[in-house]
C-alpha cells in the first residue's frame, strides 16, 4: 500500500520531515558524499544556493545550481573521487525550526533554519554560513525525496568555496 501525505497526521509528517533533514545533515557531516544524490528524486530535481538578497528581490541567479539528478551527482563526483582541490574543513550542520506544509497529495513543503560551522585541520572552529532551507519534498512509499532544495543564505560571503553541498 502506498502512503501519501494525506494519510499522515501533522505530527507524523513533521517527524518524517525532521528525520529526513537530520539524515541529510548527517550524510554531509560524515562526508558520505557518494550517498548525497540519493536524497534527490531521480526523475525531476533541483538544487540551488541563493543569496537572501537575490531571493528577496526575485532575482533568479543562484550562487550555485543543479537542475537535474545528473547535475546533482556531478556536483559531488570530484569529492567522492578525491580529485577536487580545496581547503579541507570539517562541517557540522544544525537544522532547526522545521516547519511543514502540505502542498499536495504526495508533495510536502518544508522550511527550516540552517547554520553550518566549520573546523579546520588545526581545530579552529568558525561559523561557515547562516541561512534557511526551502524544500519541496515528494513522499512515495513512506519515503521522502527532494524535488527542489533552495538553500537561501543570509551570510553569502563564504570564506571557503562552495566545494561541498549545503
Write the pLDDT tens digit of every residue in 49-92: 999 999 999 998 999 999 999 999 998 988 888 787 677 899 99
Is pLDDT at 5 greater than 80 in this prediction?
Answer: no
- What rounded mean pLDDT belongs to the chain? 92
Q: Which of 117, 119, 75 is nearest to 92 (CA)?
A: 117
Residue 114's pLDDT is 98
**Averaged over 39-57, what is the pLDDT?**
95
Three-state secondary structure call for residue 108: strand
Write the pLDDT tens digit of every residue in 10-25: 999 999 999 999 999 9
Chain CA centroid to CA 22, Å? 10
Q: Distances in Å between the alpha carbon of 120 and those of 25, 41, 136, 158, 160? A: 19, 33, 33, 15, 11
Is pLDDT at 104 greater than 90 in this prediction?
Answer: no
Q: Which CATH architecture has domain 5-152?
A: Roll (3.10)
Residue 99's pLDDT is 97
DSSP 77: H
Q: Domain boundaries in the chain?
A: 5-152
Is pLDDT at 159 greater than 70 in this prediction?
Answer: no
Residue 1's pLDDT is 46
Amino acid at each position: 500500500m502506498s502512503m501519501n501525505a494525506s494519510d499522515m497526521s501533522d505530527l507524523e509528517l513533521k517527524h518524517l520531515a525532521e528525520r529526513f533533514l537530520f539524515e541529510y545533515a548527517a550524510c554531509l557531516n560524515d562526508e558520505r558524499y557518494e550517498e548525497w544524490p540519493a536524497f534527490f528524486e531521480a526523475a525531476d530535481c533541483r538544487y540551488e544556493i541563493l543569496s537572501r538578497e537575490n531571493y528577496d528581490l526575485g532575482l533568479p541567479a543562484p550562487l550555485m545550481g543543479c537542475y537535474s539528478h545528473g547535475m546533482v551527482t556531478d556536483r559531488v563526483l570530484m569529492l567522492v573521487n578525491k580529485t577536487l582541490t580545496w581547503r579541507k574543513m570539517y562541517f557540522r550542520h544544525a537544522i532547526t525550526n522545521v516547519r511543514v506544509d502540505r502542498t499536495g497529495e504526495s508533495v510536502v513543503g518544508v522550511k527550516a533554519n540552517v547554520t553550518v560551522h566549520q573546523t579546520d585541520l588545526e581545530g579552529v572552529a568558525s561559523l561557515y554560513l547562516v541561512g534557511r532551507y526551502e524544500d519541496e519534498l515528494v513522499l512515495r512509499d513512506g519515503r521522502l525525496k527532494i524535488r527542489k532544495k533552495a538553500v537561501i543564505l543570509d551570510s553569502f560571503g563564504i570564506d571557503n568555496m562552495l566545494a561541498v553541498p549545503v
